[in-house]
Structure 1
Amino acid sequence: MSETEQFWRKHLDAIDASGLTTKVYAEQNQLKAIELYKWRNHFRRQAERSRKQQSGFMRVNLKSVQSRPAPLATSRPGIACTIILDDMRIELAKLPPANWLRSLCLTAQGDQ
């Protein structure tokens, strides 16, 4: 952590410990409240990135779609995964990485 980050982290920790609002704390310590908000968001985003990198899971948001009967999938030798999106059928010999599968779903939905 850089000296600048340590400086702002110390103030943000002090705000949390004091029970004061960010605005009042800023006034009492001759700081700009907007800078405190900026650094709080910086540390939040940093923690979120770190959490995502450590997790073996990826968030996937599903949209509600019109229900229709799923086609029957027959198990074939050497096929570990079958993906059916609309009229497209993809058969894979092994499970794909989660981020690849997410990209495929987003692309198929036209959200990317």
Structure 2
Amino acid sequence: MATYLLLYVVAWIAITHTAGWDLSFLESMRVGAGLHLIVAVPTLLVAVCAVTVHRRMDVVRFRVLLAIALSVFAWPLMAASTPEPLAFQAMAQVAFAALIPAPLLPEDWVGEAR
């Protein structure tokens, strides 16, 4: 969870510095904090559930499918006036899918090692 929180904060810092909004840094970060409930909470729920039940699929394939699934939760940012929020949040979602331990409990692994 700390990894995702760090990625989320870094993404919003990048958004505040690159988006051409007429908001101050703190106002932009407040927008990011407000979107945290809509974007981050479902992302964490899906990710934790997915890595908990993941036992057979190849890890690379699992991470790609998880990244696609997590990118869907960036949908509220499609309404932004600039493309930066959606792009940076989608990158944070993909980075989280690449960094999350899969499977969560390696001793339960039943798949083949390749």
TM-score category (smaller protein): under 0.3
Q: Which has the larger radius of gyration?
A: 1
Q: Which has the higher strand share?
A: 1
Higher relative contact order (CA closer than 8 Å, sequence separation 6+): 2
| TM-score where L is the length of structure 1 | 0.25
Q: Which has the higher helix share?
A: 2
